[in-house]
Amino acid sequence: MSTVNHQVRLAARPSGLPRATDWSLTTEGVPDPAEGQFVVAVSHVSIDPAMRGWMNAVRSYVPPVEIGAVMRAGAVGRVAASAHPGFAVGDAVYGVFGVQEYALSDGRGVITIDTSLAAPSTYLGALGTTGLTAYFGLLDTGKLQEGDTVVVSGAAGAVGSVAGQIAKVKGARVIGIAGGPEKCRVLTEEFGFDAAIDYRAGNVRAALREHAPRGVDVFFDNVGGEILDDVLTRLARGARVVICGAISQYNETQARGPANYQMLIVARASMTGMLVFDYQDQYPQAMAELAGWLRDGKIVSREHVVHGSVADFPETLLMLFDGVNTGKLVLALDGS
Ligand SMILES: NC(=O)c1ccc[n+]([C@@H]2O[C@H](COP(=O)([O-])OP(=O)(O)OC[C@H]3O[C@@H](n4cnc5c(N)ncnc54)[C@H](OP(=O)(O)O)[C@@H]3O)[C@@H](O)[C@H]2O)c1
């Protein structure tokens, strides 16, 4: 175990896209665990669009990351030192360990994972918060029914790719919206979507008319903005619009709302925000089901793993907003 801990801290609150000057890289000694604590050597950091929101000093579902604090992040690692009865040296664990090489924990919110069943990065992807968001967003908030026509935006990303695949498992017809021809190819050829729409090619509404002639029963939205407005015009009667995320708006200083919300009246539709953390008591059952689908080849987990050190975090975060990733974006700390 190293004696130094490199960390990424929030240095300033960004306006628009985060810049290099919004971060500071610090070095500390690796902490010693007191009674009831353990130290995790972080191996894989989850890179999430939500991180952009946590940098803002606004009301949200979690407090903002304070200036000077280690950046919040879900992560996977191994217990490197322990004075906690429930966690032994060598245990593989998931928790909110932050963008740093070593994290001190008292075990709250930490789960032990089995890396013989799936790669550590998969516990940030289909077997982690990503998969759980797709699962509860689609099945609980979206009230998916067999035979539904489902549209997923951000479809080639982490949550979107799993949401579309779960919809297929449940017997829906699934249309994905993603940026670029290669992502659209992956949607139909690797993730098994029925159709893909390249929003960068323009005219999403015409493509929706073609692929969803009877309308959209469930819209699983990761993107917001113009794409949300386009899909609102194609809702079937009784449609459920699941507001999972709105990545197109996260760096806007003047975020826009949906202009076409009156289509909810026409379609007698609902539009509901969901948050995965509300389902914590149901995680074990959902994870078991997701693991079963993965094992049986009914879904695949794709992870886009960037190998580097914590110093690569600021650039890696920007990849989400440039649409570089297909599947779950993960920073593997093997270049330290
Ligand atoms: N509610 C919850 O509990 C919860 C939990 C987890 C995640 N989320 C939300 O779910 C969404 C997806 O998260 P994720 O982790 O799966 O990220 P992701 O989809 O893997 O990555 C982001 C993707 O968004 C797309 N994108 C970026 N800027 C865009 C823009 N301006 N317009 C359209 N698409 C854009 C890019 O794909 P393209 O190349 O296709 O543009 C990019 O690859 C996010 O909005 C996130 O905040 C919500």
**CA–CA dist 71, 66 (Å, integer):** 9
Average pLDDT, the chain: 97
User: Any residues with CB less than 8 A from the CB of 163 and at least 6 apart, and which?
Assistant: 134, 137, 138, 152, 155, 220, 244
Collect the ranges in the chain with pLDDT lower than 70: 335-336
Structure confidence at residue 117 (pLDDT): 92
Question: Can you tell me the distance from the alpha carbon of 278 to that of 183, in angstroms, rounded to the nearest whole number?
Answer: 31
* Span from the CA of 250 to the centroid of ligand 1 (angstroms): 10
Beta bridge partners of 178: 198
Q: What is the pLDDT of residues 252-284, one digit of tens each?
A: 999 899 999 999 999 999 999 999 999 999 999
- pLDDT tens readout for residues 292-329: 999 999 999 999 999 999 999 999 999 999 999 999 99
Inter-axis angle of helices 158-169 and 129-136, nearest 10: 50
C-alpha span between 186 and 176 (Å, rounded): 10
Residues in the chain: 336
CA of 245 to the centre of ligand 1 (A): 7
Which residue, by CA, sits nearest to atom 18 of ligand 1? 157
Task: Return the beta strands (E) in 18-172 as ranges.
Answer: 23-29, 38-46, 75-82, 92-95, 102-105, 111-112, 149-153
Residues contacting 246, CB < 8 A, separation 6+: 221, 222, 223, 224, 225, 228, 255
91 and 79 Cβ atoms separated by less than 8 Å: yes
- The pLDDT assigned to 335 comes to 59
Phi and psi (nearest 5°) for 325?
Answer: -85, 145
Residue ranges around ligand 1 (CB below 6 Å): 48-50, 130, 133, 154, 156-160, 178-179, 183, 222-223, 244-248, 274-276, 320-321, 323, 325, 329
| Adjacent-strand bridge partners of 95 | 75
What pLDDT, on the 0 to 100 scale, is given for residue 248?
Answer: 98
Mutate which of 153, 182, 223, 303 to test ligand 1's pocket (most atoms within 8 Å of Cβ)? 223
pLDDT of 336 reads 46
Atom of ligand 1 nearest to the CA of 325: 43
Count of Cβ atoms closer than 10 Å to residue 97 Cβ: 27
Tell me, what's the pLDDT at 178? 98
Cα(245)–Cα(109) distance, rounded to whole angstroms? 23
Q: What type of residue sits at position 177?
A: I
Nearest CA to ligand 1 atom 31: 248
CA 19 to ligand 1 center in whole angstroms: 19
How confident is the model at residue 2, as a pLDDT? Answer: 77
Q: Whose CA is nearest to atom 5 of ligand 1?
A: 133
Q: Compute, in angstroms, the gap from residue 166 CA to the centroid of ligand 1.
A: 17
